[in-house]
Structure 1
Amino acid sequence: HISPLFAAMAILFLSVLALVLFAFEAKGDCPRDNSRRVRSFFMTDVFPVLSTNPLDLPASCPLHPMHDKYIAHEDNKHYDHNGEWKCKYCNKRFVSEKYIDRHLERMHSDMLPENATVCLSDYSKMLGFQPIQDESLFSGRVSPAQSTYNKLKKSFGAMEKCSPSEVKQLIQQCRDISESCFPSLDNGDRSPNQLKFNSLVCNNLKCVNGILKGGLHRDPEQDVFVSTMLRIMCVIILVGVVATQVFLSDSIFHHARRQFFNIKRDEDYLRKYNTNSEKYGWLVVGLVDSFYAAKAAVLYYMKPADKRR
């Protein structure tokens, strides 16, 4: 007979082994998510500033699309308005980008050109990007709340460590790429685009208190996070203003608000609200009133039931 303790230990070991293998399979030797981040940075933040078409770069440039390991797969993915990803090779649909990436890796790896050998993820540290933490390791779908939490956790989580000597090597690597992509002039001087590339990308890399910093360039993932948070804040403010206008009746919020302002009658509260609206504008007064209404409601509900009036 197998003891329960031995069985439990065996199950635990197999579970850990499965998770390790799954994580290795998801990332592989060239993480697609990190490659996308690097590709997005060059396509949106670098080449437009240099007024350069990536297809016009010399063949010796590792940033030329012909060398990009996954560009063929990226060009054959389509994101539908209903939130699904479609594979253009076989028309299969997937609920998340993670799953279509895995599908492309397993079923359509033969569509990748043999001469496309550059893994853009290898340049992630050179650009000063922080490590990506996989927020969807166990599920293809992540709730907005969980996604926001994961991004907040990532902001304060693992940071790329560095040393001054390592940063010098990364800067030299960056300048070598700059030279191969934007060759020097015949007289030996650096070309204008090489100087711009060095200023925009290479010279911004720093080691601050042992943490790798990418200078002035922006992290695409952080841009998405910041814009999402701003949209959420705008929606909350709008809902608060509308709620203030709609729920001016003798609701629980209105009752709590009157208690907070120490106003006994509805007529006095409405008179004060209208006077302030004419003086400061309904939007400003609505925002301030919404804040105090929420605060008053919290204080109201914190009281014992027999103390509420």
Structure 2
Amino acid sequence: MWAATLETILLLHLFVLLPLQGVGAVTEFDQAATSRSLKQEAGQRHEVHCSRERSRAAWKAIAEYLIPFVDEEQYELPKKCRLNPENDMFRDQEQHKIHVDTNEWRCGFCRKSFRAEKFLDQHFDNRHYNQLNDSQGRCLADLCGALHCDFVIDSKKTKTKCNPAAAARNRHLCESLADSCFPLNKGQSASRLHEFFLRQFCDAHTCAGGKKPFSRGGKKESSVFYLAVCILVVMLLPLFYTVVYLQQREMNKGVQVLKRISKPGLKTKPS
């Protein structure tokens, strides 16, 4: 009897427990496969070897100290020109930044909000990296040496000791940008902008001293100047018209007094 009972228990173990162990083994296998796939996705995460911050500084220099003068000349930057907005890999993402308030930035792709711009940048890197065009020659940060990015980021920063070799490299890069973006054989506008670019960006790449970047000014400076002039004119116009009115009024009073004084002298004597 005990032998029959033991045999029954063994049969139950074979037909019930073993299938359950098989299910558990399959579950563990699925979990391991899922874990491996997640690790593979993490390993395949898109990486961009281009500084977003320095690219932003480079674009700021272009937008404020070059583009206004290019627009004034009605000149179109060639596609091969690395200063062309189309050659900035971050341009599409930067244009989809919505600055709602001091502590609120919003993604223009998915409308998600963030407390600071750096968190939105991280969001772009993690969720919208497919909006990047990271083909060769589209990293504006590579042009920072020519475009004075450090000055744009912090114009009050104390200068370090000038390196003649670095200054020469930056000047060479700057001059090559002038040649490719404003070819001298492309007309008068290109020639004027070529000369302007050399004076605006390239002349400051020297250890001789005395020459600062962006000596020709830019959009921000000019707009502030014209705004100040307009406000001053608006404030002075009422004062000017008031002074003119008071002068005219005083002159009219003086004429009337003279007329009253001269009347008795014009009377004829009785005959």
TM-score, normalised to structure 1, is 0.47
Distance 1:117 1:87 in 2: 26
Report the structure number with the largest CA radius of gyration: 2
Q: Deviations over 1:204-263 (max 9, x none)?
A: 222268xxx972328xxxx9xxxxxxxxxxxxxxxxxxxxxxxxxxxxxxxxxxxxxxxx
Partner of 1:155: 157
Amino acid at match of 1:122: D
After superposition, residues 1-309 of structure 1 pair within 5 angstroms as 29-51=49-71, 56-81=76-101, 83-113=103-133, 115=135, 117-130=137-150, 155-156=157-158, 159=159, 162-185=162-185, 191-207=191-207, 215-217=212-214
Native 8 Å contact 2:55 2:140 kept in 1: yes
Q: Which moved more, 1:163-172 or 1:96-105?
A: 163-172
SS of the residue 1:79 aligns to: strand
Q: 1:77 to 1:35 in 2, by over 3 A?
A: same
SS of the residue 2:165 aligns to: helix
Distance 1:95 1:214 in 2: 39
Partner of 2:32: none
Q: 1:89 to 1:61 in 2, by over 3 A?
A: same
Distance 1:118 1:214 in 2: 29
Q: 1:51 to 1:131 in 2, by over 3 A?
A: closer
Native 8 Å contact 2:203 2:211 kept in 1: no
Distance 1:175 1:78 in 2: 35
Amino acid at match of 1:215: K
Shift of 1:126: 2.0
SS of the residue 1:204 aligns to: coil
Native 8 Å contact 1:34 1:132 kept in 2: no
Q: 1:35 to 1:86 in 2, by over 3 A?
A: same
Distance 2:111 2:138 in 1: 27
Unaligned runs of 5+ in 2: 1-46, 221-271
SS of the residue 1:86 aligns to: strand
Amino acid at match of 2:193: N
Structure 1 vs Structure 2 CA RMSD: 3.7
Amino acid at match of 1:105: D
Q: 1:116 to 1:77 in 2, by over 3 A?
A: farther
SS of the residue 1:130 aligns to: helix
Shift of 1:67: 1.1
Structure number having the greater helix percentage: 2
Amino acid at match of 1:62: R
Distance 2:193 2:157 in 1: 33
Q: 1:54 to 1:32 in 2, by over 3 A?
A: farther
Distance 1:112 1:40 in 2: 19
Distance 2:206 2:147 in 1: 10
Q: Deviations over 1:74-129 (max 9, x none)?
A: 01111003531100111111111111001101110001235474211122222334
Distance 2:118 2:136 in 1: 22
Partner of 2:10: none
Q: 1:36 to 1:61 in 2, by over 3 A?
A: same
Distance 2:136 2:90 in 1: 8
Native 8 Å contact 2:201 2:214 kept in 1: yes
TM-score, normalised to structure 2, is 0.53
Distance 1:172 1:208 in 2: 16
Aligned length, in residue pairs: 171
Amino acid at match of 2:118: K
Distance 2:116 2:163 in 1: 37
Shift of 1:177: 0.7
Q: 1:186 to 1:62 in 2, by over 3 A?
A: closer
| Identical-pair percentage | 25
Distance 2:125 2:74 in 1: 25
